[in-house]
A and B are shown apart, each in its own frame.
Chain A
Amino acid sequence: GAVVSQHPSWVICKSGTSVKIECRSLDFQATTMFWYRQFPKQSLMLMATSNEGSKATYEQGVEKDKFLINHASLTLSTLTVTSAHPEDSSFYICSASRGVAQQAGETQYFGPGTRLLVL
């Protein structure tokens, strides 16, 4: 159990276009989902936290108008990179928690990641 999928697994796009990445919890309902970004040879950086039915909370320095997050259902969250530029090329990873993230011992389960290359 606790499987998280992402689609697409990789995407190449032209500069200026928008790209949507989907994150799905396949066998559980995810009250909270998280989006991370990882550059080569670096650790994961949290971008934002999203709770189903409410606005996402963005980390400091992450542009909310550029990285649009929608968590419309308990099994799906989407990240849209708007007007992508080469510096947005990165590995984007989502995770999901079964229950409320405030609970002690609540575990995040990660998707396989989406590699974005902006030309």
Chain B
Amino acid sequence: DAKTTQPPSMDCAEGRAANLPCNHSTISGNEYVYWYRQIHSQGPQYIIHGLKNNETNEMASLIITEDRKSSTLILPHATLRDTAVYYCIVRVRGSGTYKYIFGTGTRLKVLA
């Protein structure tokens, strides 16, 4: 089972910041939080990942709470092309390796 929970859908006005929350209350001390998005009929696109400090890159910012039990992905100025399903992932230990277990994600719709 996925180790994260996200709201199923969100709307955001074009040009406004989109704040996508994620809960990962069982995250272990050395595991990262990863964010990907999937635009219709494409493979997931990497956005950002972080451990405990806030992270920022050209696509987004990631805010992780101090207790690391939740995080928020921020798209500072959403555009119509940001409409996608956003997945928050914490890796799961498998047989000899770590793997991604995808949850249902958040379907973000950016409105004109």
Contact = CB atoms under 8 A, between A and B. Distances in A.
Interface of A: 2, 4, 6, 32, 34, 36, 43-46, 49, 51, 57, 91, 93, 95, 100-102, 104-113, 115
Contacts of B45: 110
Instruction: From A2, A6, A107, name the one whose CB has the most chain B CB atoms within 10 angstroms.
Output: A107
Given A51-B97, A57-B97, A107 B49 contact: yes
A49 B49 CA distance: 21
A101 B97 contact: yes
Contacts of B49: 105, 107
A68 B93 CA distance: 23
B43 A104 contact: no
Contact of B105 (A4, A43, A104, A111): A43
Contacts of A104: 30-32, 51
Interface string B26-48: 00001110101010011111100
A106 B93 CA distance: 13
Contacts of A46: 99-102
Contacts of A44: 38, 44, 102
A110 B43 contact: yes
Contact of B32 (A34, A51, A105): A105
Interface of B: 30-32, 34, 36, 38, 41-46, 49, 51, 87, 94-105
30 contacts: A32-B97, A34-B99, A34-B100, A43-B87, A43-B103, A43-B105, A44-B38, A44-B102, A46-B99, A46-B102, A51-B97, A57-B96, A93-B43, A93-B44, A95-B100, A100-B97, A101-B97, A102-B96, A104-B30, A104-B31, A105-B32, A105-B49, A107-B34, A107-B49, A108-B46, A108-B100, A110-B43, A110-B44, A111-B43, A115-B41
Given A104-B30, A104-B32, A105-B51, A112 B98 contact: no
A109 B43 CA distance: 9
Nearest to A100: B97
